[in-house]
Structure 1
């Protein structure tokens, strides 16, 4: 059931935009179908293509996305991910193993699949951030990073409403309730709404960020997969401050929930999504979204088909303070 946790909330700055203009991205140098994650990720599909061709297509999509975002005025840090002999087929989805905050912290999280734990490379991350002028004050870990028995896959499983200091989380094997509460204690968030989901297949959704996205003034959610009582609680909370767009499970399957609001260097809002998501949104839904930012559809067909994650999964938001290099 929905589990609200409350702390004192400072509402004085709720008119402020909390979208970031900086992201971290990791090139898909080892990209291929990940058999380990496919056990609970129903969004993954195998293609009858050689691994080398799959990687080439994924890399082309990745660098096209980097180019588009930089061209729109988003600060993109590309983290060097040279191989060290460890398999990292899903490294292109870095938002599952770390997050950042405005206090200067990098927070590390335990992931469920062994070959995804190979992606956790804080030294590489800190080096990439430092080269771009971002200051890290502390590295914080949630849970047991070396031998985890419980998992919390960062902003894959936690949707952060920065305006209202609220976290939304669909519970699953990758989203442990105790670790959610542990994270809440070290974060700037004050309220937690956790809930159960059930897709048509009978399975829980593997990551909250494929069913749900929250921006400064809007929310997109596949609420039909949430049990009715919990659904009412979640929607009621969202509707207090957000314009809510409900998407169907079919639209979720086209990654309409896997979108992200960003700002550019002129403080203009962007809503980044895959081309498949853009095509699956109705005209009315796109018109609502346009009130909250310029829609930026990007073709990542290979990555989202084989990897089971889309544009939002490829973007690790960077809220760290940046040195003035002028």
Structure 2
């Protein structure tokens, strides 16, 4: 376990130490469990990025894609999410085909924009977008924390880091898209009180495909996405046992790539929702969540799903 000098902020890789530290954390008094708005980046010239496919096993470069269908599905997603929060859609750029997943590059904490350090050059180009930076800096007055030029670290933001905003806890999957230096940088940038770092299974690229936190009170977990089963169990315990456990097939259908933008609703893709069992749907209802879904099968060909498309504005 390590602690930042002069603070009580803690980073740990031990499930036991994590649970001990977690038990001592009371909810933050003014913290919101869900974002106050969301932003998306529209697909433009939608295509599969060969660089990203090197470590994203959910992509299949042999599949053909329909750019207009992807654009239509993305527009329907933006419209649907407006039932919970205001949604802003930035225009896409054919030079950055993965830009449809902006949450890996841009993320927020109250009053702060964090810009990530992407692994692949095709995604590093996204971080240079002046319009998104200006929206948060010039219009909203957010301070900017820019990790994009930091050598020696990889930090793909809320793809790699799933955050319990109410308690200030980060769950960070270590793998090809995030190293320990990146986890430390994100821990500081988001102002977290506790970050639990664990290794993802060798076949996984992002934490948010194997773990979703639902309004800081329940979790969706794909146990086979973790190298050590004890890590998944510790996260479930930290959530008071309120966890939906996914099968490998459900994980592959992106049922773990879900998001809550209100205290009462879980969003996931139509394919992900169809993969759930009746018992899992009943469990979500028991935790106080309705389930809504949007067809995203065209966009999912690029190796991400609904949660990956959504940048949160806190």
Q: Specify if TM > 0.5.
A: yes
Equivalent residue, structure 2, for 1:55: 67
Q: Counterpart of 2:8?
A: none
Does residue 75 (structure 1) correspond to residue 86 (structure 2)? The answer is yes
Residues 82 and 185 (structure 1 numbering): CA distance in 2 closer, same or farther, change over 3 Å? Answer: closer
223-232 or 35-44: bigger deviation? 223-232
Shift of 1:14: 6.4
Aligned counterpart, 1:322: none
For structure 2, the residue ranges without an aligned partner over 5 or more in a row are 1-11
CA contact (8 A) 1:251 1:281 kept: yes
State the alpha-carbon separation in 2 of the partners of residues 178 and 68 from structure 1: 37
- State the alpha-carbon separation in 2 of the partners of residues 313 and 48 from structure 1: 20
Shift of 1:48: 4.7
Does the 8 Å contact 1:217/1:292 carry over to 2?
A: no
Correspondence list, 1:1-326, <5 A? 2-3=13-14, 11=26, 13=28, 17-46=32-61, 48-49=63-64, 54-70=66-82, 72-82=83-93, 87-102=95-110, 104-129=111-136, 135-142=140-147, 145-146=148-149, 148-198=151-201, 203-215=202-214, 216-226=216-226, 227-239=228-240, 243-263=242-262, 269-290=264-285, 291-304=287-300, 306-319=301-314
Alpha-carbon distance in 1 for matches of 2:25, 2:217: 18
Task: State the distance in 2 between where 1:27 and 1:225 align.
Answer: 29
Which 10-residue stretch deviates more, 213-222 or 11-20?
Answer: 11-20
8 Å CA contact retained: 2:28, 2:168: no
How far the C-alpha of 1:185 sits from its partner, in A, is 2.4
Cα distance in 2 for partners of 1:168, 1:314 equals 19
Q: Secondary structure at the match of 1:118?
A: helix
TM-score when scaled to structure 1? 0.83
> Displacement, 1:286?
1.2
| Paired residues of 2:221 and 2:244 also in contact (CA < 8 A) | yes
Over aligned residue pairs, what C-alpha RMSD do you find? 2.5
Encode CA deviations 1:74-101: one digit per residue, 9 max, x unaligned.
Answer: 2101113356xxx211110000011111
In structure 2, do the counterparts of structure 1 residues 81 and 157 end up closer, same or farther at CA, with 3 Å as the change threshold?
same
Alignment CA distance shift 1:292-1:45 (3 Å): farther
1:200-246 residue CA offsets vs partner (Å, 9 max, x unmatched): xxx2410000000002211001123432343443333233xx61111
- 3-state SS of paired residue (2:80): helix
The structural deviation recorded for 1:73 is 4.0
Contact 1:214 1:220 in 2 (8 A): yes
Count of equivalent residues = 296
Maintained 8 Å contact 2:222/2:247: yes
1:43-82 CA distance string (max 9 Å, x none): 1123553x6xx21111011011112222x14210111335
Cα shift at 1:315: 0.1
TM-score between the two structures when normalised by the length of structure 2: 0.86
Which of 117-126 and 244-253 deviates more? 117-126
Contact 1:62 1:300 in 2 (8 A): yes
Deviations 1:247-296 (A, max 9, x none): 11211100010000012xxxx63211000110011111112223333211
